[in-house]
């Protein structure tokens, strides 16, 4: 497989960004980290890749942005699902739905 470009836009104390970074590291995916100043001037890259919410984290994979940490985790699990890599979500649809429910519950509480 050719070298892929993976960039993560994040702000260091963000727990949402931390879960994305942990997932990439668990799957041993090389990525470039770009720090965002979420309280100051947001970069053009952030505004272009997440024009709706203008928030981090954003995963940019080969120029295609993916936003929202739970959606990013599902994307990572789908794109990098080789035989030797760790799966972040169960393959069983019911168990996967339960994981989504609890992730959403925790995010909102």
pTM: 0.86
The pLDDT of residue 91 is 83
The pLDDT of residue 89 is 81
The pLDDT of residue 85 is 61
| 7, 31 Cβ separation under 8 angstroms | yes
Per-residue pLDDT of the chain in tens (109 residues, 90 and over written 9)? 457 899 999 998 899 999 999 999 989 999 999 999 988 899 999 999 999 999 999 999 999 999 999 999 999 999 998 756 678 888 889 998 998 898 888 888 7
**What is the dihedral angle through the alpha carbons of 67, 34, 37, 16, rounded to the nearest 10 degrees?**
40
Domain boundaries 6-108, CATH class: alpha beta
Number of H helices, E strands in the chain: 4, 4
User: Where in the chain are the domains?
Assistant: 6-108
Short-list 62, 14, 65, 5, CA closest to 22: 14
The pLDDT of residue 1 is 42
The pLDDT of residue 29 is 93
């Amino acid at each position: 497989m050719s070298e892929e470009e993976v960039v993560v836009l994040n702000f260091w104390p963000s727990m949402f960004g931390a879960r994305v970074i942990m997932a990439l590291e668990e799957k041993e995916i090389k990525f470039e980290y770009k720090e965002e100043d979420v309280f100051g001037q947001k970069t053009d890259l952030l505004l272009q890749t997440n024009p709706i919410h203008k928030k981090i984290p954003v995963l940019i994979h080969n120029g295609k942005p993916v936003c929202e940490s739970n959606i990013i985790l599902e994307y990572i699990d789908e794109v990098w699902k080789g035989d030797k890599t760790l799966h972040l979500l169960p393959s069983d649809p019911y168990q996967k739905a339960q994981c989504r429910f609890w992730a959403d519950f925790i995010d909102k509480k």
